[in-house]
Copies of this chain bind each other. A is one copy, B any other.
Amino acid sequence: MSADETANDEYDEPLFFQVMQYAARTDRDVVGMVSGNPDWEPPAALRDGLREYADADPPQLQYPASEGLRYLREEIAARRNVDASRIVVTNGTGEANYLAMARAMERDAGREFLLTDPVYPYYPGKATMLGGTATKVPVLESGAPDVAAMREAASPETAAVLVNTPNNPTGAVYDRETVESLLEIAEENDALLLVDEVYDHFDFSGEFESALTLDSDRVVVTTGFSKSMAITGFRVGYAVFPNHLVEAAKTRHMLVNVATTRPGQVAVHRALEETPTEYYEETRGMLRERIASFTDALDAAGATYTTPKGAFYVMARFEDFPGTIANVERLIDEAGVAGMPGEAFGEAYDDWIRFALVTPRADEAAERLADYFA
């Protein structure tokens, strides 16, 4: 057994903020492609919802139900075809993942999280904070999980298999067969399958299918509105738990946060109700164009790169320029482009640098990279 949660104070802070601060401190013009902060407009109805809320009567400014506003949970439930009682509205997908991971540990059926490498760095951070361990299994060349290697790595110590699809940072979209296999691995080891689907609105492949459709009492799906509505600062997400796991998750949510911010919930609900599908289609269209022109420029720079099937990140590899934090800082200073070091995501992609396509200047960034590496 590993040490308990609160005995671990050595968990690492993810590097995102550190890199962004470095980029902000430099004097030169830098194209920022570090964090997954959308630069596009949120749905108009979201702004309307917030504006109207600013004039709400005092009772509307007070605690929402701890598990989330009833009408928001019902709207989500109808869209996701699940019972509203299974939903906890959280302080972003970040808290949803925390609740799901804590729930996996509380089952007392293992303390290990089985992750992919590369991995979203918050997952191992949360695992360690919760007193668990993180085992990272390198993905296949395609970016898809190596199911055979994950099966090999799994054991009764495995508390949960935790994956993210569409994937940050690889851009892979896991096909249904893969996710079913991951569920089997969870079943074989009395573990949960946690699937973070926060990029669910950014599937360019047409292959994405939510793990909710597996209809399994071992699956927890987490997601949020940060990316799909371009509001990472609002902090509204949710988790869908199986019935037998949801009550304790709601209690933890209450004890940690009391409730999720109400202005955000109200605005998101309004946007869910009124935003036409064209909004999401247009965003995807814009991102497709950015991906195409950024990767064209990377071709010109002689770089190797991933073409995302989902999410909005491109991983690029430049000859003799591994994805260390030192090199990323060099790129900021010398090329005027800020990315995330591949080493922040594990070892499998530590030669790579991740670029978030959240700027209209992605082309310019690619040209700068081409010049720099010429």
Contacts and interface: CB of A to CB of B under 8 A. Distances in A.
Interface string A39-80: 111100001101101110011111111100000000000000
Contacts of A235: 91, 257-262
Contacts of A5: 4-6, 102, 130-131
A254 interface: yes
A231 interface: yes
B61 A42 contact: yes
Contacts of A248: 9
Nearest to A265: B233
A256 B6 contact: no
A143 interface: no
A105 interface: yes
Interface string A230-263: 1111110000000000001011101111111111
Contacts of A129: 251-252, 255-256
A35 interface: yes
Contact of A95 (B7, B59, B60, B257): B257
A35 B63 contact: yes
Q: Indicate the member of A50, A53, A102, A261 with the most B CB atoms within 10 Å.
A: A261
A169 interface: no
Q: Indicate the member of A42, A61, A231 with the most B CB atoms within 10 Å.
A: A61
Contacts of A12: 251
Nearest to A1: B4
Interface range, A side: 35 or more
B108 A58 contact: no
A98 interface: yes
A264 interface: yes
A346 interface: no
Nearest to A250: B13
A5 B59 CA distance: 35
A29 to B, nearest CB: 16
A86 B318 CA distance: 41
Pick the 3 closest A-B CB pairs, nearest first: A4-B4, A233-B262, A6-B105
12 contacts: A7-B106, A8-B106, A37-B63, A51-B55, A61-B233, A61-B234, A63-B233, A64-B233, A92-B258, A94-B256, A129-B251, A233-B263
